[in-house]
Chain A
Amino acid sequence: AQTVTQSQPEMSVQEAETVTLSCTYDTSESNYYLFWYKQPPSRQMILVIRQEAYKQQNATENRFSVNFQKAAKSFSLKISDSQLGDTAMYFCALLNNQAGTALIFGKGTTLSVSS
C-alpha cells in the first residue's frame, strides 16, 4: 500500500524566518511523483512544488525548495523568508505513475506565520 505521513500537525514561524515541513512516504513503485500543495482558508488547493522521483536534483520554486531523499523515502519542504501569506495548511502528496491522477495525500501540516 502507498502511504504519505506528515508527522507535524502544526508549526509556527515568524516572518522572514525559514521553516521546514517534514513528509515521509512509502511506495513499491520506482517511477512516481511527489508534490507539496498549499491550502489557504479559501480552500483552493494550490500546487507549491513538484519532484519527479527519477530526478536526483532537488526541485526549487522561488522561496520554496525540497530535500528529496529517495532511499529514506523522505520529502521535506523548506520555506525561506516566510511571509504572512504563507499561512495555510500544507499537504504532501504522492502520485504513482501508473495511477492516473489519483494523488495520495498526507494529513497535512498547519503553518502559521506571524509578524
Chain B
Amino acid sequence: DAGVTQSPTHLIKTRGQQVTLRCSPKSGHDTVSWYQQALGQGPQFIFQYYEEEERQRGNFPDRFSGHQFPNYSSELNVNALLLGDSALYLCASSLGPPGENSPLHFGNGTRLTVT
C-alpha cells in the first residue's frame, strides 16, 4: 500500500522563477493538503483540495496556487519565487471531505531552495 509520495525530493531555483511540486496521495485518499515548513519552524497550512477544487486556504499570497487531478494527485505551483519561499513543502492526504477529520498522512516533503 503506497503512502503519500512527493516529487522531486530536492529542488534548487533562482529568485523570480516558477516551480511545480507534485504529490500522489495515499491509495484510497481523495483529499490533499499542502503545508510549508520553514527551517526550525512548524508547518503552516497553504491550501486543501477536494473534488478538484480548492476548499480551504491559509494565509499565503496568490503566487501560491494548486491543482488537483481526477486521480486525486495534486500540484503546488509557486510563481515569482522569493528567497523566503525556501522551505520544506509537505503534502498530506486524507479520506473524505473537509470536516471529516480523518487522519492525515504526510509525505516526505520536497526541499525547495531559492537562491
Q: Which residues of A contact B (CB under 8 A)?
A: 4, 33, 42-47, 50, 91, 93, 95, 97-108
Q: Evaluate contact between B41 and A103: CB separation under 8 angstroms.
A: no
Q: Evaluate contact between A100 and B90: CB separation under 8 angstroms.
A: no
* 22 A-B pairs in the complex with CB atoms less than 8 angstroms apart: A4-B42, A43-B88, A43-B90, A44-B106, A44-B107, A44-B109, A45-B43, A45-B104, A47-B103, A47-B104, A50-B103, A91-B43, A95-B101, A98-B99, A100-B98, A100-B99, A101-B98, A101-B101, A101-B104, A102-B45, A102-B56, A103-B43
Which residue of the partner chain B has the closest CB to A110?
B40
Q: How many A-B residue pairs have CB under 8 A?
A: 63
Complex Cα gap A46–B3 (Å): 12
Q: Among the listed A33, A101, A104, which residue makes an inter-chain contact with B33, where contact means beta carbons less than 8 Å apart?
A: A101
Report B-chain residues with C-beta under 8 Å of the C-beta of A46.
106
Q: Evaluate contact between B104 and A105: CB separation under 8 angstroms.
A: no
Q: Evaluate contact between A102 and B104: CB separation under 8 angstroms.
A: no
The 7 closest A-B pairs by CB, nearest first: A100-B98, A105-B42, A45-B106, A102-B45, A100-B56, A43-B109, A44-B108
Tell me what chain A mostly uses at the interface: helix, strand, loop, or mixed: loop
* Count of chain B residues near A, Cβ 8 A: 27
Q: Give the Cβ gap from A9 to chain B, nearest Cβ, in Å.
A: 9
As a 0/1 sequence over residues 96 to 115 of chain B, the CB contacts with chain A under 8 angstroms (1 = contact) are: 00110101101111010000
Which residue of the partner chain A has the closest CB to B88?
A43
Complex Cα gap A42–B56 (Å): 28
Q: Among the listed A98, A101, A104, A106, which residue makes an inter-chain contact with B48, where contact means beta carbons less than 8 Å apart?
A: A101
Asked if B65 CB lies within 8 Å of chain A CBs, one says no
Q: Evaluate contact between B56 and A45: CB separation under 8 angstroms.
A: no
Report A-chain residues with C-beta under 8 Å of the C-beta of B56.
99-102
Asked if B8 CB lies within 8 Å of chain A CBs, one says no
Complex Cα gap A57–B12 (Å): 47
Complex Cα gap A45–B55 (Å): 22
Complex Cα gap A44–B88 (Å): 11
Q: Give the Cβ gap from B55 to chain A, nearest Cβ, in Å.
A: 6
As a 0/1 sequence over residues 68 to 97 of chain B, the CB contacts with chain A under 8 angstroms (1 = contact) are: 000000000000000000001010101000
Report B-chain residues with C-beta under 8 Å of the C-beta of A44.
106-109
